Amino acid sequence: MSSIPDHISIWGELADVDHEVRHVDVGGVRTRVLRAGSGPDLVLLHGTGGHLEAYARDIGGLAADFRVTVYDMVGHGWTDLPDTPYTIDVLADHLLALMDALGIERAHLSGESLGGWVAAWTAAFHPERVDRLVLNTPGNIANKPEVMQRLRDSTMAAVRDPSEATVRPRVEFLFHHKEMVTDELVNLRRAVYSRPGFVRAITNTLVLQDPEVRKDFAWSPEWVGKISTTTLLLWTDHDPTGGLDEAALLLDWLPDARLHVIEDAGHWPQWEKPGEYLQVHRDFLLNGETA
């Protein structure tokens, strides 16, 4: 008999985990939310053009120690797509309003890519709502124009033509081991990108890759230095959006931070290296330790 793959399907990861998926009214924005587990509150935030399934391989493991909340940010996934620029303050306000709607007074925040940017901004300007902070491959800390252009072009191409030929390379961009990109994951993205109004929505998200808009929210010591909570920088050795030199910038700017590097992974270590991702979160969030 052949062996069973480590990953069968997105929802197969939750086959033995009690959870609920529902839409929550967040200030008039119908927001898709998945919740599982019990314990300290932990909110997970996905990246640009993403959706809560980015954490499918981690929710079950984290739910053993935390009350996990993962959601589609405004303008993403199957959450509403209001026609307004999704700048970092707008995304952070949506997060805080979701926490209010769910009765979460304070939470650990762990954000990947754009989600890390939103989590960091929230911790800087609303410290009373954040316990510990994990910034998972937050991406382009140095605000490099070529990185912004590449993300903007590849994302717009995939959303304008959500075919296999354009969406698969966009998803593969997130991975070091591109063979781990499944048909299921690609087709889920295709379904999101095919939603009515999504071209407009992604345009509203990609304003953050416009240097003129970005300057008001760009990573800088002025606001990053306000983050008082203990912070873990979770980097990889093959992140296409920013190297360890950018992690060093954040280590210098953050008052209380430490770094953990996951090797042999790209922009989505939570998918490529779920075991290490989970262990690092447990060690840091529960015990304040890093390897």
Which tens digits make up the pLDDT trace of 133-143?
999 999 889 88
Residue 196 lies in a domain: no
Contact 74, 91 (CB under 8 A): yes
What is the overall mean pLDDT for the chain? 95
pLDDT recorded at residue 290: 64
Look at residue 41 and tell me if it is in a domain: yes
Instruction: Band the pLDDT of 201: cuts 50, 70, 90.
Output: very high
Quick: pLDDT tens for 51-101. Answer: 999 999 999 999 999 999 999 999 999 999 999 999 999 999 999 999 999
Question: Quick check: is 241 in a domain?
Answer: yes
Asked if residue 56 lies in contact with residue 8, where contact means CB atoms within 8 angstroms, the answer is: no
In terms of pTM, does the model score above 0.85? yes
Distance CA 133, CA 95 (A): 14
Q: In whole angstroms, what is the distance from residue 231 CA to residue 85 CA?
A: 28
Which CATH number characterizes residue 242's domain?
3.40.50.1820
Within a domain: 151: no
| pLDDT greater than 70 at residue 291 | no
Chain centroid, CA 109 distance in Å: 10
Question: What pLDDT score does 203 carry?
Answer: 96
Query: Is 201 within a domain?
Result: no
Does the pLDDT value for residue 167 go beyond 70?
A: yes
Q: Give the model's pLDDT for residue 144.
A: 87
d(CA 241, CA 261): 15
Q: How far apart are CA 287 and CA 129, in angstroms?
A: 20
Domain-embedded: residue 185: no
pLDDT single digits (tens) 14-55: 999 999 999 999 999 999 999 999 999 999 999 999 999 999
Number of domains in the chain: 1
Q: How confident is the model at residue 5 (pLDDT cuts 50, 70, 90)?
A: confident
Per-residue confidence band for 110, with pLDDT thresholds at 50, 70 and 90: very high
Q: For the residues 97-106, what does the mean pLDDT come to? A: 98
Q: Residue 101's domain spans which residues?
A: 11-142+221-287
Query: Is there a domain that residue 3 lies in?
Result: no
Indicate if the pLDDT at residue 188 is higher than 80.
yes
* 192 in any annotated domain: no
